[in-house]
A and B are shown apart, each in its own frame.
Chain A
Amino acid sequence: MTNSQADARSDPQADDAGAMLRETADRLLADRLTPQIRARGAAGEWPGDLWAALDELGLPAAILPEAAGGFGVPVADALSLLTVAGRHALPLPLADTMLAGLALARAGIAIPPGPLAVAQGSEVRLDAAGRATGQAWGVSFGRHARAVVVLADGPDGPVLVALPRDALAIEPGLDIAGDPCDAVRVEAVPAPSAPAPFGAAELRAAGAATRALMMAGALDAVSAMTVGYANERRQFGRAIGQFQAVQQSLAVLAGQAASAAVAAGLAAEAVAAWAGASGPGLLPAVAAAKVRTGEAAGQGTAIAHQVHGAIGFTQEHRLHRYTGRLRAWRDAFGREAEWAQVLGRHLIAAGPDGLWPAITAA
């Protein structure tokens, strides 16, 4: 697949690589992400067989350049896989494995096989002998990752480090959806590293972009399932979707889902440009996307639960798998206020005459 991203955008037919990836992933997850697997994951077990199936299709590596083991799919197309992950409320670290691979490839560090993690925050130092000491937190699926990617202080400046799993002390934790989200400690651990090709703020923004994409996918699913439910559930002798109050809420939900999808597309393009070390950088597009998708997740989640009534408040019903992860992804790599402040500062600094140009540049 050689067509550039610009080609893929101007000609919908040329979006083949992305569409193929998404369909492959969608089919696989529809078949294999069974209630049993989810239950095992929720009980703390690693669903290794499902991960192996994803891996076999090359999905976690799809984002990588060919030289690093990928198949040269445009980065924005590969990222669109994350909307599928969101649509299935995927309880696996696909996003962080993709992002870690992308970051390690850019730094020229060998990519360990298997699931990877990117720390949302860290305080790690690397000594002159290449040994890492410190802690990292907000590490999704950290206990299952083969390596945790962090930005650390090296002897000669910032370095990207892949903390190897065997040397990590893990403090297990869970995010609000019940997925693993751990803290890790290292003490004088030899770790592969390289001078950081980007700063910690960029890595955090790229992480935020992955969550924006997953939120967009999850909101799409939530909107569709809520409309479906409203058409099925009957009260007062008719489907509740025939009541205008319910219709108006569903229209708002669909608007929020559409808005999240558009914002996520903006983030994907920014990450693609960043991965190719071109373009205006991750800001302000990613900041805007994380704010917008996070707000959409908040509004969308509330409406979906309202329309589903009590059944949607049960463990058995699938709704909470999506709304729980929407809440978790909303929080991960910076909440709305954090990114709104980043974006707001950027816009205010642009000044009254620079405000509009700053918006059109995003």
Chain B
Amino acid sequence: MSQFTMSQFAFPPPPPSPAADAFRAEIRDFLAAEVEHRPALDRAQSWNGLDPAFSRKLGARGWLGLTWPKRYGGQERSGLERYVLLEELLAAGAPVGAHWIAERQSGPSLLRYGTEAQKAAILPRIAAGECFFCIGMSEPDSGSDLASVRTRAEREGDGWRVNGTKLWTTNATHCHLMILFCRTGPLDREHRHAGTSQFLVDLTLPGITIRPVRNLVGEHHFNEVVFEDVRLPGDALLGREGEGWAQVTGELAYERSGPERFLSSFRLLVELVRVLRPAADARAEIALGRLGAEIITLRRMSRSVAGLLQAGADPALEAAMVKDLGALVEQAIPEIARDLVADGPPTPQARAFAEVLAYTTLHAPSFSLRGGTREILRGIIARGLGLR
């Protein structure tokens, strides 16, 4: 029986990390200089905010790929130090979107499955903030049911020929490379996950067309990426042919448990405190306290998963749980914030609050879709409980 944790899910207390505590102060100094002057609405964009120059600045400090081996441009620091860096960047509303995917999951996938040549060629560029990645998983007819993808790579000579369409590909127009998940073998109805592979795709290759898809606010983050007889060299294969499913699901503990899974609305909470502080009543205090309790608890869960990842465990279920609970809090924040603040004269603070509230409210539906929907996550948890 473990300390305070469940019989079914294990969230051990995050291990202490004095190095991470010292690092936090250094990060806060940097953010005070680099981010604090930015407008509230920019900061509210959280990990949607794109600023390649800022990403390069982080790279120059050695703050991308912090845990990676030095020979690939990393710093060989601990996962908990990286955790502190990520949460501080997000809490401050730093524009981390350009490098986020590359640093979070593409780089780690390369480290795990890449050939020496792939690692040597790409990882140092990610670490420098000069190489950005997008995720080529979803398709028009394959969302939650990712195994049903129809994009296909066929062997041709010593390379591959790819045809198909990826959709919802965030930031494709700003990225250099995509990790493409597609079919390389026939669909076997009994073993739907077999016959899939991953590729490193240079997005400048002939035959690739990227079309913007505007989101409901009119922003361009999403894209449709069409592959028409795109020829990939043999060394574009990532990992092993036919192992795509295992590789892609291996990314998910990284993708689902990080601080971005409960901090997407955090800047709204900051603006809320700014407008409430002069005259907070009991109702406001209670509402803030409830959200604070959720965030404090989720942060500990998320750090616990970071500790497990660092220790080499596979906390995929715990990660699904963090993401499910985190999205609930992220979506509760705008609902509660709008209720606590009445309209009034358009002071600069009131205007900033209103802008950030609108931004966060309109983006909130995506929090329980991207990275695996609420229902899919709960299905994963249920399976972990021994149901099905």
Q: Please give the residue numbers on chain A whose beta carbons come within 8 Å of chain B beta carbons, in ascending order.
A: 6, 9-10, 12, 15, 18-19, 22-23, 26, 76-77, 80, 83-84, 213, 216, 220, 223-224, 227, 230-231, 241-242, 244, 246-248, 250-252, 254-255, 257-259, 261-266, 268-269, 284-285, 287-289, 291-292, 295, 336-337, 339-352, 355-356, 359-360, 362
Contact = CB atoms under 8 A, between A and B. Distances in A.
13 contacts: A9-B16, A250-B382, A251-B379, A251-B385, A258-B9, A262-B5, A262-B301, A288-B293, A337-B286, A340-B292, A340-B293, A341-B286, A341-B289
B387 A230 contact: yes
Contacts of A336: 290
B15 interface: yes
Given A344-B285, A344-B287, A344-B288, A227 B293 contact: no
Nearest to B295: A359
Contact of B13 (A9, A248, A291, A339): A9
Contacts of B4: 80, 83, 213, 216, 261-262, 264-265, 268
Contacts of B276: 348
A341 to B, nearest CB: 5
Contact of A359 (B3, B289, B292): B292
B91 A339 contact: no
Contacts of A248: 375, 378-379, 382
A352 B277 contact: yes
Nearest to B16: A6
A241 B385 CA distance: 10
Contacts of B92: 356
Nearest to A6: B16
Contact of A251 (B3, B299, B304, B382): B382
Contacts of A244: 379
Given A227-B386, A347-B288, A348-B277, A247 B378 contact: yes
A251 B378 contact: yes
A335 to B, nearest CB: 11
A79 to B, nearest CB: 9
Given A292-B293, A336-B290, A254 B11 contact: no
Given A216-B4, A227-B385, A292-B297, A343 B292 contact: yes
A255 B286 contact: no
B8 interface: yes
B277 A351 contact: yes
A291 B290 contact: yes
Query: What secondary structure prevails in chain B residues at the interface with A?
Result: helix
Nearest to B300: A262
Contact of A339 (B9, B289, B382): B289
A262 B304 contact: yes
Contact of A242 (B277, B290, B381, B388): B388
A342 B293 CA distance: 11
B388 A287 contact: no
Interface pairs A-B: 5 shortest CB-CB: A340-B289, A344-B289, A344-B285, A344-B288, A251-B378
A216 B134 CA distance: 40
A6 B17 CA distance: 10
Interface stretch (B237-245, B250-258, B265-273): B265-273
Interface in B6-46: 6-9, 11-13, 15-16, 24
A247 B321 contact: no
Given A223-B6, A258-B321, 11 more contacts: A12-B2, A250-B385, A255-B324, A265-B3, A291-B290, A342-B289, A343-B289, A347-B288, A348-B280, A351-B277, A356-B266
Interface in B344-388: 375, 377-379, 381-382, 385-388
B22 to A, nearest CB: 14
A250 B301 CA distance: 19
Given A242-B388, A347-B273, A247 B382 contact: yes
Interface string B207-239: 000000000000000000000000000000000
